[in-house]
Amino acid sequence: MLRRGIVLAGGTGSRLFPMTSAVSKQLLPIYDKPMIYYSLSTLLLSDIREILLISTPRDVPLFRELLGDGSRLGIRLEFAVQQRPAGLAEAFLIGESFLDSAPSALVLGDNVFYGEGFSDHLSSASRRGVGATIFSYPVQNPRDFGVVVFDEHGRATDIEEKPEKPKSSSAVVGLYFYDERAPRFARTLTPSARGELEITDLNRRYLETRELYVEQLGRGFAWLDTGTCASMLDATNFVATLQRRQGLRIACLEEIAFRKGWITKTELAAAAARFGASEYGAYLLELPLFM
């Protein structure tokens, strides 16, 4: 069965107040496109074409207006509401009927990934039919993250949530691949002290049966969590610098869909027309000339 995707774009975005007082942080720009484009591009690069976007009652209509039903990208896009932040693992309870016993991938709406060979890591994770795959990235401040611990053979042995004394510097990033059992496991989780269904507890279920795999993103990769003003600025500067120097767009959804053959040259031109005289629209218009 084909893997289906979930983008979790809920929460209050309180660390970005007052910018997010009236709009989801995932609708704020990272340089030339909404933040949500970056997480969606990760699923598209994983060849996932059926996607559920989960957000707040206030913001779902805005995401629907921005993205439509996905047909302009050759995908199917549905929407669901998370009434209040109740943990990342709740995404599998909200999305259980959408997943319909299919394997899944969950990406957080405020994560940006970039690096040569990233698609290879995504393919490796997607090919695994059994178990769960998480992604790790070395950080200088592991106490602020969930951390995965490895044995001498590079196999995951433990996951710690914001440990006081980290045993590793490998942070677990906001991208997770699961087999069809994820909703069933999520239903058995007990809310944490903060009243949430923790994704770390779901990952630990797979770890206990030695079915948790880790794709390690090292040198040459960038993982940016854009949950603060400073990190949003870092991400914007990063994207702006790369795009200006290379002349290529990061997380251009229409380009990904076109290169994968999901939309035609005519549909690409229609997308360019919708974006008018913007640099983004001009980029889409010129794409077929360089392929």
pLDDT in tens, 92-106: 999 999 999 999 999
Using CA atoms, how far residue 3 sits from 44, 67, 195, 235, 252, in Å, is: 11, 21, 29, 29, 22
**Contact call for residues 36 and 6 (beta carbons, < 8 A):** no
Place of tokens 């439509």: 68
Q: Which whole number is the average pLDDT over 13-30?
A: 87
* This prediction's pTM: 0.95
Per the structure block, which two tokens stand in for 87? 């943990």
Centre a 10 Å sphere on the Cβ of residue 192 and count the other Cβ atoms it contains: 14
Residue 2: the pLDDT is 94
Q: Which whole number is the average pLDDT over 274-289?
A: 90
Going by pLDDT thresholds of 50, 70 and 90, the confidence category of residue 8 is very high
222-263 pLDDT, tens digit per residue, is 999 888 899 999 999 999 999 999 999 999 999 999 999 999
Going by pLDDT thresholds of 50, 70 and 90, the confidence category of residue 129 is confident
Q: Which whole number is the average pLDDT over 190-210?
A: 93
Q: Tell me what the pLDDT averaged over the chain comes to.
A: 93
Query: Residue 14 burial by CB count (10 A; 0-12/13-18/19+): exposed, middle or buried?
Result: exposed
Place of tokens 């042995």: 157
